[in-house]
Amino acid sequence: MEKYINNYVIVAIFILLGILLPVVALTAGRILRPSKPSTEKQTTYESGNIPVGEGQVRFNIRYYLFALMFVIFDVETVFLYPWAVAYQQLGLFVLVEMLIFVSLLLVGLLYAWKKKVLKWNSI
């Protein structure tokens, strides 16, 4: 079991390298690249016009509904994965149980479908 830690050492090394590369590259870039800031360069890009109002505009409520559905179905996968790993040792009973669980969630999907949540009509 303590040897299994080795695998996580490798994972840690990968994450460390993942942080190291951008840090090194951006630091090297800072030395190499020119820096002549001007007010025009630092304005927010808006197709060449002077920006109007705030950049962080209100966005469609639809994104929030998608996020909610994502949370529901992602939690479903959290239950599906251990079930799938152990499935070959388990019986017909768990299959029926999972069928009930998933169909409850599918009712929710159908409800969202009927409520036209999945229909896209603007940005």
Partner 1 sequence: MGDLLLEQLTWGNALIFFLSAVVLLMIVLGFVTYAIYFERKVIGWMQLRIGPNRVGPFGLLQTVADILKLLLKEDTIPRKADRALFILAPVLAYVPAFAVLAVIPYTDSLYFADLNVGLLYYVALSGITTLAIVLGGWASNNKYALLGGMRSAAQMISYEVPLVISIVGVVMLSGSLNLRTIVAEQGNWFWEWNFLPQIIGFVVFVIAAVSELNRTPFDLPEAESELVAGYHVEYSGFRFAFFMLTEYVYVYAIAALTTILFLGGWHAPAPFLDFVPGLLWFMLKFACIVFFLFWLRATFPRVRVDQLMGFGWKVLLPLAILNVFVTAAYIEFFIKR
Residue numbers 52-111 binding partner 1 by CB under 8 A = 54-57, 59-60, 62-63, 66-67, 69-70, 73-74, 76-77, 80-81, 84-89, 92, 95, 98-99, 102, 106, 109
50 in contact with partner 1 (CB under 8 A): no
Residue numbers 103-122 binding partner 1 by CB under 8 A = 106, 109, 112-113, 118-121
Q: For residues 82 and 96, what is the distance between their CA atoms, to the nearest angstrom?
A: 16
Q: How far is the CB of 99 from partner 1 (least distance, A)?
A: 7
